[in-house]
Amino acid sequence: MPLTDTAVRNAKGKEKPYKLSDGGGLYILVNQDGSRYWRIAYRFAGKQKTLALGTYPAVTLADARARREEAKRLLAAGTDPSEKRRADKQAAAVAAKRSLEPIAREWFETKLPGWVPSYSERLMSRLEADIFPKLGHRPISEIEPPDILEVIRAVEKRGAIELAKREMQVVGQIFRYAIATGRAKRDPTQDLRGALKSPGRQKHHRALPREELPQFLAALAAYDGEPTTRLALQLMVLTFVRTTELRAATWAEFEGLDGAEPLWRIPPARMKMRFEHLVPLAPQAVRVLTELRPLAGRSRLVFPSPTKEGFMSNNTMLFAMYRIGYHGRATVHGFRGVASTWLNESGYSPDWIERQLAHDERNEVRGAYNSAQYLAGRREMMEAWANHLDALRNVTSIEGSSGAP
């Protein structure tokens, strides 16, 4: 007698496993714990065999019957259903190895020894965020130019024009690796030349050449202008925030200056991305703030000034740099690039660095922005940067006292 949905649903475990038959070789095996497994019993080449069809309720009675009919068609055609399933699994495994993601990871491993950790981590992060979700499962030989362009266009829509160009180049390298290893015949990115948006003319803030940093620090220490300006530049180098974030700082934003974990909490209203930004303060930064406090008097601002805005003007620090000999050679904003370069080359996490620079890294993979993200690691990183600056000052001081050029 054929089974019913009610009979299958109500089947309970007993002291021993038992079967409920639906006919045509199809039955459900009920175990002691109540779990239910669909099976087909059949004969092929004179041998009795069993084919598993899945578990109930994931596989319904109707699903099991449809799979029984498919098995019957295979048997009528002289094919063993069990062997057909094994062959299908093998084919799927082979196809998976020829899909873009495993090939990309294989290419990545071959290149890894020649890359610095910061670059390799950033590259894999981009692949996992932008490329793999849409193309990773696809057989690489079946991916066409429009498929790639759709994915890269999504990066462009975020405003990341240069990043889109770099990701296209990486995808092209992966395809050329697949060609060399016999898993693709052509690189479809070659057909996309000229298809991406032009980044246009970019305005860059001139950064101080890193080799000149010791001399700059020495010149800044000897600056004979307003002490507030000198201290503002020193705090800028130590924290590498944006100039607008520094100039309008208020004393209320600083927390725990007397404690073990001093912090600068910049409110969303003063941030470019309109998200709160946390700056862990190294002891050297706290000492600068300690010097600034009496200079600010009773003002709630760290850098009060008789300007329309009420705080230090945009040109005050820039003109101070001109005065100590850096006209046209560097900008105040450029210290962000100097710090970023040193931290990346020192092996710090790209995520720590990007978060400390307050770059907007939000996307579906990374989730919502969190101002406190990686705070412990960022504190360690900021203290290392401050100690590096101290070491550069000490070297310059020793060279100067010894008469070295």
Is-catalytic flag, 242?
yes
Q: Which of 247, 336, 378, 379 is catalytic?
A: 336
Distance CA 234, CA 141 (A): 55
Is-catalytic flag, 137?
no
What is the chain's percent helix, strand, coil content, to nearest 5? Answer: 55, 10, 35
How far, in whole angstroms, is CA 347 from its chain's centroid? 16
Q: Which of 37, 105, 369, 393 is catalytic?
A: 369
DSSP helix/strand/coil, 264: strand
Centre a 10 Å sphere on the Cβ of residue 369 and count the other Cβ atoms it contains.
16
Is-catalytic flag, 204?
no
Q: List the alpha helices (DSSP H) in 77-131.
A: 81-97, 100-111, 117-126
Pairing between strand 277-280 and 263-266?
A: antiparallel
The arrangement of strands across the sheet holding 18-23 comes to 18-23, 26-30, 36-44, 47-56
Q: Which of 36, 247, 333, 378 is catalytic?
A: 333
Is-catalytic flag, 37?
no
Is-catalytic flag, 393?
no
Contacts of 29 (CB under 8 A, 6+ apart): 17, 18, 19, 36, 37, 38, 39
Q: Which of 183, 242, 270, 277 is catalytic?
A: 242
Enzyme catalytic residues: 242, 272, 333, 336, 359, 369
